[in-house]
A and B are shown apart, each in its own frame.
Chain A
């Protein structure tokens, strides 16, 4: 393919989200180094701050099985062929301008490679932290390859260290080979002064399953695309999204599953909470390609409006080009469930406490699927943090 100048590529389309002023097309990668050396971490996985690896732990049996987990820069040095084969394979460089910019500029991220027939029991955890010190932007690429019949649960966290205004671009490509299983859970937590473009996509081959548990708790303006291509016979993907928008935050989501394979299944489930004068737009897209007989596309998007000044939308879209399918959608914008609130208060909980629990319950589906207790608690804390500006 002829390499087009990035300026000529279209910007990604997020209906009803005006993100032009964020200038996401104009970033320069940060070279900042993390100076903190006090980290005593103990978990299976990887931590990258800025573009520096600060923690790396992989058990001997996984190393022996050929599992690779490392900073993307190191992966380029040590396994150039593997990386070059994967990068741009799921999200083509020229699909849109921000993806192309990321492709050209990324200098951090990680690479996870799992060969065929490896079942990883413990949850693999990867943290990517942005350093916002006013010296450039966070541009990260993540490549995840799950070999045939392999299985892994991945928990990915992101947050911002420092509070200078900056931008972030994160592109995640997942390739799930035949019969593999991946749960990709993430807690995104960029700071209030970071405007972010986050694009996660998976190609899911026959009988493979990829479930996204996307807890999007950024405090800054964000556009997030999450897509699964259920390409093979019996491929399965659930895309579950939970987000809170607060203060003056603007967030746009596109969550899309494309059914190409016969008897493939794609379910989208989105929950969004709107606080203060924030804005949130959910676009759910279920696309069934001609020939994907017996496939199933469902989506449910619900927005909880907690502020009169907020703005929220849930737009479902089903694009179906095959007759022999099942498909459905539900979308709503509503308020706190009065019956649940009443129930909790009837036990003596003050309204404020009861309300918090009801709001937590609204994203309970995502919370309950966070793969570790710690991650569940972190999410509960993140909800508290989001609710602190609320005046009831």
Chain B
């Protein structure tokens, strides 16, 4: 079993404290979801775990099986078994998807045991078809000219190809129509195993109908304020974050605080 463990994590972005003491443990074999209102630090958490240079850890630790990830570079973390499906994947012209994924796989293998081209193509074709992606995508340039939905699928395809131990999915559902959401969910569900754990970040409960989590965490004001099961997400969807905040007696202001009032007033 592999464990991603986050202890009392404090993070600054551009001098402003965004994370204010996050504690969380994700084991392989478990599906976790983090929900929370806009601007509460969910994406900051995912980028900090991966090691984005713009996020400054001011206190706390991130461990993967006891190894201190904060001592490691982005690429080392990835090779140690982490994966981040990004909200806004970069586009790189002149580098094909196939070349990139092959390089990613080979970066995890010793130099005298690189993946053969046929092996690679067989795996790629199988997973590509599983995600209903066209054959030509392999030769297209990395994310270049991809629609929002294609980019998300491509993130999941990469995840399936490199087989991480712990995958963080940052709003993998945003901008997806219902069919695409089903395809992406199918990809994530296919990874379910005792050797794979995931941390999904989402605004919407909808995603969790398709990828049913074992744990749901609610983040507010830079902290995890409540943890429960899949049923908690449904309750949040119905009642909104403000009511949970008030129930917990937290002093946190929410960006879109008044939205539920309008919805309910309709």
Segment from A231-239, A260-268, A276-284, A353-361 that makes contact with B: A353-361
Q: Mark B157-181, 1 if CB is under 8 A from A, else 0.
A: 0100010000000000000000000
Size band of the interface chain A makes with B: 20 to 34
Q: Residue-by-residue, is B88-106 near A (CB-CB < 8 Å gives 1, otherwise 0)?
A: 0110111100001001100
Q: Give A341-352 as 1s and 0s: 1 = Cβ < 8 Å from B's Cβ atoms.
A: 011111111110
Q: Which residues of A contact B100 (CB under 8 A)?
A: 344, 347, 357
State whether B108 touches A348 (Cβ < 8 A): yes
Q: Are A342 and B74 in contact, CB atoms less than 8 angstroms apart?
A: yes
Chain B 47-83 interface 0/1 with A at a Cβ cutoff of 8 Å (1 = within): 0001111000000000000000000011101110001
User: In whole angstroms, what is the CA distance A345 to B90 when docked?
Assistant: 12
CB distance from B145 to the nearest CB of A (A): 11
Taken residue by residue from 314 to 356, chain A's Cβ proximity to chain B (1 for < 8 Å, 0 otherwise) reads as 0000000000000000000000011110111111111101100
Contact B95 A360 (CB under 8 A): yes
Best-buried of B93, B94, B108 by chain A (most CB within 10 Å): B94
Cβ-based interface call for A365 (8 A):
yes
Q: Of the candidates B90, B103, B141, which one forms a contact with A368 in the assembled complex, judged by CB atoms under 8 Å apart?
A: B141
Q: In terms of DSSP, what is the predominant structure of the interface of chain B?
A: mixed
Q: Are A345 and B92 in contact (CB under 8 A)?
A: no
A151 and B203 alpha carbons, distance in the complex (Å): 53
Q: Does A12 contact B (CB under 8 A)?
A: no
B242 within 8 A of A: no
Complex CA distance for A365 and B92, rounded to whole angstroms: 10
B95 touches A348 (CB 8 A): no
- A367 on interface, CB distance cutoff 8 Å: yes
Instruction: Contact check, B162 vs A347: say whether CB atoms are below 8 A apart.
Output: yes
What size tier do the contact residues of chain B reach?
20 to 34
CA distance A338 to B54 in the complex (A): 10
Residues B53 and A347 in contact, CB atoms below 8 Å apart:
no
- Determine the distance from Cα of A358 to Cα of B91 in the docked complex, in whole angstroms: 10
Q: Is A226 an interface residue when CB atoms closer than 8 A count as contact? A: no
B94 touches A364 (CB 8 A): yes
Judged by DSSP, the binding face of A is helix
- In the complex, chain B residues 91-146 whose Cβ is within 8 Å of any chain A Cβ: 92-95, 100, 103-104, 107-108, 141-142, 144
Any chain B CB within 8 A of the CB of A363? yes
Known: A342-B53, A342-B74, A347-B104. A364 touches B162 (CB 8 A): no
What's the nearest-Cβ distance from chain B to residue A243, in Å? 15
- Taking the closest CB of chain B, its distance from the CB of A259, in whole angstroms, is 28
| Shortest CB distance B2–A (Å) | 16
Q: Inside 8 A of A342's CB, which chain B residues have their CB?
A: 52-53, 74, 90
- B208, CB-defined interface residue at 8 Å: no
How far apart sit A22 and B86, CA to CA, in the bound complex (Å)? 51
Known: A343-B86, A354-B75. A349 touches B92 (CB 8 A): no
Is B19 part of the contact surface with A, judged by Cβ < 8 Å? no
What CA separation (Å) do A380 and B94 show in the bound complex?
9
Does B107 contact A346, Cβ atoms closer than 8 Å?
no
Asked if B95 contacts A345 (CB within 8 A), the reply is no
Instruction: State the Cβ distance, A347 to closest chain B Cβ, in Å.
Output: 4
The answer to whether A349 touches B75, judged by C-beta atoms less than 8 angstroms apart, is yes
Q: How far is the CA of A115 from the CA of B94 in the complex (A)?
A: 35
The answer to whether A350 and B107 touch (CB under 8 A), given A338-B53, A367-B94, is yes
Tell me whether A346 and B141 are in contact in the complex, defined as CB-CB below 8 angstroms, given that A351-B75, A353-B103, A354-B75 are known contacts: no
Question: CB-defined interface of A48-71 with B at 8 Å, one 1/0 digit per residue?
Answer: 000000000000000000000000
B95 touches A364 (CB 8 A): yes
B94 x A348 contact (CB < 8 A): no
Known contacts A351-B73, A357-B100, A368-B141; is-contact A346 B78 (Cβ 8 Å): yes
A residues less than 8 Å from B77 (CB atoms): 346
Let me know if B93 and A365 touch, CB within 8 A.
yes
Listed from nearest, the 5 A-B pairs whose CB atoms lie closest are A364-B93, A364-B94, A348-B78, A361-B92, A343-B90
Chain A positions near chain B (C-beta within 8 angstroms) = 337-340, 342-351, 353-354, 357-358, 360-361, 363-365, 367-368, 380
23 contacts across the A-B interface (CB closer than 8 A): A342-B90, A343-B92, A346-B74, A346-B75, A346-B77, A346-B78, A346-B84, A347-B103, A347-B158, A348-B79, A348-B107, A349-B75, A357-B103, A360-B92, A360-B94, A361-B142, A363-B94, A364-B92, A364-B95, A364-B141, A367-B93, A368-B141, A380-B94
A sample of 18 more A-B contacts (CB under 8 A), given A347-B158, A350-B107, is: A340-B92, A342-B90, A343-B89, A343-B90, A344-B92, A346-B50, A346-B51, A346-B74, A347-B83, A348-B104, A349-B103, A349-B107, A350-B75, A357-B95, A360-B92, A364-B93, A364-B95, A368-B94
